[in-house]
């Protein structure tokens, strides 16, 4: 059987909080429809996690996953919300990429931190939401420094694709999955 595995790492946006589905579920379907392979998405996301939390988890996570050589990474929304010092965020992000490549991953697709719709929610102020661009600049620069890492622009995901300031509904999950699928198929 011809198949491909795709490891999906991230926070609640990858996990699929506030919706029944998740972008990795849609991603596997889209990739199956666009290629000759069967695809399995391995969703190893955790609600509320930051790049630091992911870094701590990766050692154990990667040792338990075999026969997988591609990954999608969507992390940073909680770093924006918590105002993680940007230099520390960048170092954790860089070391997460290093861990994947040291473990033998051949391609890592790194998603832009999606828009945050500050609407009075206590965790995401307009000021914090606006800082997302600086975090994305750090991610984009780091991704460019790894030959097999690929930056995935999410575009301006409409507010109608969200359940709350940060969590996607099914339309949003589909939107994100399409962006990752385009990047995978373009490789």
Residue pLDDT, tens place only, 119-139: 877 778 888 889 999 999 999
Q: Which CATH number fits domain 3-186: 3.40.50.10420, 3.40.50.1110, 3.40.50.10540, 3.30.365.10?
A: 3.40.50.1110
- Write down the pLDDT at residue 1: 66
Distance separating alpha carbons of residues 91 and 113, to the nearest angstrom: 16
Structure tokens at 8: 């999906």
Helices (H), the chain: 12-15, 23-34, 51-63, 77-82, 86-102, 126-130, 132-144, 170-186
Q: What share of the chain is helix, strand, coil (3-state, %, to 5)?
A: 50, 15, 35
pLDDT in tens, 64-114: 999 999 999 999 999 999 999 999 999 999 999 999 999 999 999 999 999
Task: State how far the Cα of 115 lies from the Cα of 104, in Å rounded to an integer.
Answer: 31
pLDDT tens digits, residue range 155-178? 999 999 999 999 999 999 999 999
Q: pLDDT tier at 118 (50, 70, 90 boundaries)?
A: confident
Predicted confidence (pLDDT) per residue in 23-46, tens digit:
999 999 999 999 999 999 999 999
For 161, the token pair is 């694709």
- What's residue 93's pLDDT? 98
Burial of 145 (0-12, 13-18, 19+ CB in 10 A): exposed
Global confidence as pTM: 0.96
DSSP 148: T
């Amino acid at each position: 059987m011809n198949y491909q595995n795709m490891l999906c790492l991230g926070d609640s946006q990858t996990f699929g909080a506030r919706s029944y589905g998740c972008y990795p579920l849609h991603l596997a379907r889209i990739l199956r429809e666009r290629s000759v392979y069967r695809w399995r998405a391995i969703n190893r996301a955790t609600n509320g996690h930051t790049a630091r939390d992911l870094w701590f988890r990766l050692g154990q996570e990667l040792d338990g996953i075999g026969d997988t050589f591609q990954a999608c990474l969507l992390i940073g929304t909680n770093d924006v919300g918590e105002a993680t010092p940007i230099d520390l965020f960048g170092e954790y992000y860089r070391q997460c990429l290093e861990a994947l490549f040291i473990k033998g991953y051949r391609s890592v697709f790194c998603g832009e931190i999606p828009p945050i719709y500050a609407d009075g929610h206590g965790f995401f102020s307009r000021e914090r939401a606006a800082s997302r661009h600086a975090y994305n600049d750090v991610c984009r620069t780091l991704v460019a420094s790894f030959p097999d890492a690929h930056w995935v622009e999410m575009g301006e995901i409409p507010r109608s694709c969200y359940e709350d300031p940060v969590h996607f509904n099914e339309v949003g999950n589909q939107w994100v999955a399409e962006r990752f699928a385009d990047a995978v198929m373009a490789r």
